């Protein structure tokens, strides 16, 4: 089983879009996927047109198993909802005297091996929940919108990641995914080249700017459902294949 966190401290870089469409892409290839929303905004559920009544908070509180709380959103795709109830979970974590950073990993340990992939969407910022995600996941995929500000966020995020890697050698920044790529914007191409040279192994083919990608969540659909012929569908399909080709599942 591969555990991939979609993370970067900056908001609006395409984390949720990537979590939803990568999970949908993997499920379309018949992999069992558990998509976990670790954001209090609950956007992952809406993007898939779902309205789960239980989710991650109930699992971590021990009120439900992953199996009971996860909703079958599509063939092979199970959703563990986030949303406002996560605020309580965050308080619970910060109240612990020790071991708080392991809370989510302990809660999700029952899910191990049942799924080929666990994909975790995270909130912007750096808080108790994001730290918990990084004590559970083994691979990090960082979406990087092609702006100078986002490059700075990536550097900061790497430093924060390193502080956790000291305790968890198995945690690796595996993928750097350029997003909002627009070849008409000169700066966009320059930043792309920079990312490719700095992250030769992690670098993924970019996700192009696509209006369809921004419309799909409003219809509760993954890009493969909403606009299967769009550049967004092509780009997320390429990402899916890249991650599958890296093996293990
Ligand atoms: N490649 C893209 N092209 C156009 N719009 C996009 C693209 N990726 C994401 N969006 C839109 O940009 C906004 C921010 O994306 P989102 O995935 O929610 O970012 P984050 O989760 O990092 O805050 C959303 O409205 C989303 O629909
Ligand atoms: Mg988001």
Q: Ligand 1 pocket test: which of 8, 17, 227 has the largest number of ligand atoms within 8 Å of its C-beta?
A: 17
Residue 236 near residue 224, CB atoms below 8 Å: yes
pLDDT digits (tens, 9 = 90+) for 41-89: 999 999 999 999 999 999 999 999 999 999 999 999 999 999 888 999 9
Report the separation in Å between the CA atom of 116 and the middle of ligand 2, taken as the mean of its atom positions. Answer: 23
Please report which confidence band the pLDDT of residue 248 belongs to, taking 50, 70 and 90 as the band edges.
low
What is the C-alpha R_g of the chain?
Answer: 17
pLDDT digits (tens, 9 = 90+) for 190-208: 999 999 999 999 999 999 9
- How much is the average pLDDT of 137-153? 96
Cα(48)–Cα(195) distance, integer angstroms: 31
Q: Ligand 1 pocket test: which of 12, 19, 222 has the largest number of ligand atoms within 8 Å of its C-beta?
A: 12
Q: How many helices (H) and strands (E) does the chain have?
A: 12, 7
The number of the ligand 1 atom at minimal distance from the alpha carbon of 211 is 4
Residues facing 145 on adjacent strands: 179
Which CATH homologous superfamily contains domain 2-245? Answer: P-loop containing nucleotide triphosphate hydrolases (3.40.50.300)
Helix (H) or strand (E) holding 38: strand 33-38
Report the separation in Å between the CA atom of 130 and the middle of ligand 2, taken as the mean of its atom positions. Answer: 12
Nearest protein Cα to ligand 1, atom 27: 214
Report the separation in Å between the CA atom of 38 and the middle of ligand 2, taken as the mean of its atom positions. Answer: 9
Residues whose beta carbon lies within 6 Å of some atom of ligand 1? 11-17, 124, 179-180, 207, 209-210, 213-214, 217
Model pTM greater than 0.85? yes
Question: Does the structure show a pLDDT above 80 at 26?
Answer: yes
The number of the ligand 1 atom at minimal distance from the alpha carbon of 232 is 1
Tokens encoding 246: 């890296």
Mean pLDDT score of the chain, rounded to an integer? 95
pLDDT digits (tens, 9 = 90+) for 146-172: 999 999 999 999 999 999 999 999 999
Cα(240)–Cα(22) distance, integer angstroms: 6
């Amino acid at each position: 089983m591969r555990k991939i966190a979609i993370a970067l401290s900056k908001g609006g870089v395409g984390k949720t879009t990537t979590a939803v469409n990568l999970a949908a892409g993997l499920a379309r290839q018949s992999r069992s996927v558990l998509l976990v929303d670790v954001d209090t905004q609950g956007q992952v559920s809406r993007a898939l047109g779902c309205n789960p009544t239980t989710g991650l908070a109930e699992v971590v509180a021990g009120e439900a198993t992953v199996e009971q709380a996860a909703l079958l959103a599509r063939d092979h795709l199970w959703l563990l909802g986030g949303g406002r109830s996560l605020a309580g979970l965050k308080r619970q974590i910060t109240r612990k005297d020790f071991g708080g950073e392991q809370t989510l990993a302990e809660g999700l340990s029952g899910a191990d091996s049942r799924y080929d992939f666990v994909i975790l969407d995270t909130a912007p910022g750096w808080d108790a929940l994001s730290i918990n995600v990084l004590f559970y996941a083994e691979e990090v995929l960082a979406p990087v919108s092609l702006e100078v500000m986002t490059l700075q966020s990536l550097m900061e995020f790497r430093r924060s990641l390193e502080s956790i890697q000291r305790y968890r050698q198995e945690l690796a920044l595996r993928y750097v995914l350029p997003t909002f790529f627009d070849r008409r914007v000169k700066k966009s191409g320059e930043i792309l080249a920079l990312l490719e040279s700095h992250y030769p192994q992690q670098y993924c083919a970019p996700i192009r700017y696509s209006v369809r990608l921004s419309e799909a969540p409003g219809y509760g659909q993954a890009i493969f459902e909403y606009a299967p012929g769009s550049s967004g569908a092509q780009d997320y399909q390429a990402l899916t294949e890249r991650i599958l080709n890296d093996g293990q599942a």
